[in-house]
Amino acid sequence: MKVSREQMAENRRRILDVASHLFKDRGFDAVSVAEVMKAAGMTHGGFYGHFTSKDDLVAQTLAHALAADSFGDGEFSGFVRSYLAPRHRDNPGNGCPTAGLAAAIRHQTPAAKAVMAKGLRTQIARIQKALPDQGSADARRAAIGSWAAMVGAVILARAVDDPELSDEVLEQTRAWIDTQVE
């Protein structure tokens, strides 16, 4: 039976959504193509109608996840509070793809690295635009520093088995960013 273009697009979006969640939650290497397809409610054989390889899936999933990852038109301070919150820390599969996957990107293909670089540029520009009125060089520096601190804080907060330390990393990073971008 022939599948419509609309259904193909919906299937592809579902695969990318599922892959994004699984990759952010467990990492690239711990998730197989078969697992992604099963979680998407499709057969493994249908994979190659959408992607040429797992490497292709990784790069396209990153592009999909990074395009959806935005703090929108809200205030930067609200974005910082929600990003550096226990709820975000405790839900990597539904969280930021940068915090969930940045460390693993270095082992991926040049295509995946290029997608991550594009996503990083986009997020820095979004943050720079949202910051209080500053000179261009100062705003860019603040955007890069803030984003690096936020991503690093989430990675570190997820990496420790001490809940108090984890919370402190989030709280103190929030406080530090507040002092930097006033």
Q: Which of 3-12, 33-42, 90-99 has the lowest mean pLDDT?
A: 3-12
Neighbours of 144 (CB within 10 A): 15
Mean pLDDT value across residues 11-33: 96
Q: Domain 5-65 class? A: mainly alpha
The rounded distance, in Å, linking the Cα atoms of 50 and 27 is: 21
CA distance 112 to 55: 8
121-162 pLDDT per residue, tens: 999 999 998 887 766 788 899 999 999 999 999 999 999 999
Q: What percentage of the chain carries pLDDT values higher than 70?
A: 95
pLDDT of residue 2: 73
- Where do the domains of the chain lie? 5-65, 71-180
List the Cα angle 98/101/104 in 5-degree steps: 135
Cα separation of 182 and 180, whole Å? Answer: 6
Greatest extent of the chain over all pairs of C-alpha atoms, in Å = 60
- Is pTM beyond 0.85? Reply is yes
H or E element at residue 41: none
Mean pLDDT for the stretch of residues 160-167: 98
CATH 1.10.357.10, applies to 71-180: yes
Place of tokens 């960013």: 177
The two structure tokens encoding residue 130: 């949202």
The two three-digit tokens of residue 38, written as one number: 């099963």
Helices 136-159 and 97-105 meet at what angle, rounded to 10? 80
